[in-house]
Amino acid sequence: MAVTIETRLAEAVRIAEEAGRIIVKAREEKSFNQRLKAGIELVTDADVAVDTFISKELDKHFPGELQLSEELSPEQGLGTKAPLWVVDPIDGTVNFAQGLRHVAISIAWLEEGVGKVGVVHAPFLNETFTACEGGGAFCNGKPIKPSGASELSATLVGTGFPYDRAARKALMPRLESILTHCQDIRRNGAAALDICDIACGRLDAYVETVSPWDFAAGWVIAREAGATLGRLVDVPEGVSKDLYPKELLITAPGVFDELHALLSSKA
Ligand code: IPD
Ligand code: CA
Ligand code: CA
């Protein structure tokens, strides 16, 4: 019998919450080493341990389904039409290592390249964001929706910056225009939570280039909550828009067009 989407959501929530307990314990016990990946990007033992835990759980419950995950299989399943799990075991690794609380586990499930299930669990904030296709979006079981922001001067914008410092310079014109026209900027350090914060109206807009595992689950949650999802660039032919991570722009519906016009000239 085919596995229902509700079963997938429930399993993903259970796995994310269990992973959250591993993350909290690792931090309490300070039982993780840190190193730099590719010379610039922080990774801890906990990132790898949690990715391994989630991967084994998904294998057990959904045998044979592909998994794309940041630490274990970052290339797996890109471009596939087959069922695909997309996992960021710790989104906000720098926050995790520094003792900050914006940290999340992000799990999405896609079929035919379309995001069907999204779970983002924040173990230090005790919040779990969930959504499945056509079913609305929730935080700790309560329905959520984006803000009613309708003008740029009242638009609080979440964003992030690449680990590669040399790549940050190109973002300066964009930052200048956001700071000139919008209310302000937040850089909270976990893309999945930034996107969920659009979904529940705490932030009004989010713009960033990330990786597929950073946004796949948040994208489903924001979409189901009623946020407007788009990009400052076109998605290449044949690539799933639910996995293409470049120049994402996710906003409350009332400010998308204006912000898109403002930032497109700075992309
Ligand atoms: C990072 C966070 C951050 C974003 C970076 C991501 P990580 O993920 O989501 O907010 O600005 O682009 O790489 O490395 O902590 O999983
Ligand atoms: Ca991440
Ligand atoms: Ca990560």
> Within this chain, do residues 129 and 199 fall inside the same structural domain, yes or no?
no
Residues 10 and 136 grouped into a single domain: yes
49 and 79 co-located in one domain? yes
Residue 213 alpha carbon, nearest atom of ligand 1: 16
Q: In terms of Cα–Cα distance, which of 56, 158, 44 is closest to 90?
A: 44
Q: Identify the H or E element spanning 111.
A: strand 104-111
What does the alpha-carbon distance between residue 11 and residue 21 come to, in Å, rounded to a whole number?
16
Q: Quick check: 196 and 140 in contact, CB under 8 A?
A: no
What are the structure tokens assigned to 210, written together?
A: 């990330």
* C-alpha 91 – ligand 1 centre gap (Å): 6
CATH code of the domain containing 260: 3.40.190.80
Q: pLDDT under 50 in the chain at which residues? A: none
Please indicate, yes or no, whether residues 121 and 162 belong to a single structural domain of this protein.
Answer: no
The tally of domains found in the chain comes to 2
What ligand is nearest to the CA atom of residue 46?
3
> How many Å lie between the centroid of ligand 1 and the Cα of residue 4?
31
Take atom 16 of ligand 1 and give the residue whose Cα is closest. 91
Asked whether residue 81 falls in the same domain as residue 113, the answer is: yes
Positive or negative: CA dihedral 29, 35, 38, 41: positive
> Are residue 171 and residue 252 in the same domain, yes or no?
yes
Residue nearest to atom 12 of ligand 1 (CA): 210
- Looking at residue 267, what is its pLDDT? 55
pLDDT of residue 266: 60
**Do 161 and 83 belong to one domain?**
no
Same domain, 124 and 12: yes
What CATH number is given to the structural domain containing 73?
A: 3.30.540.10
User: Exposure string (b/e) for 29-60, b if CB count within 10 Å is 16 or more?
Assistant: eeebeeeeeeeeeebbebbbbbbebbbebbee
Regarding whether 69 and 166 lie in a shared domain, the answer is no
Final residue belonging to a domain, choices 110, 143, 176: 143
* Domain shared by 163 and 253, yes or no: yes
Q: How far apart are CA 9 and CA 109, in angstroms?
A: 9
Same domain, 129 and 231: no
Please report, as a single letter, which amino acid is at residue 172. M
Same domain, 37 and 157: no
Calculate how far, in angstroms, residue 65's C-alpha sits from the geometric centre of ligand 2: 22
Which of 126, 143, 160 terminates a domain? The answer is 143
Rounded to two decimals, the pTM is: 0.97
Residue that is last in its domain, among 113, 143, 173: 143
Q: What is the pLDDT of residue 61?
A: 97
- pLDDT number for residue 253: 98
Residue 248, domain extent: 152-264
SS3 label, residue 84: strand
Report every protein residue that has its C-beta within 5 angstroms of ion ligand 2. Answer: 88, 91, 214
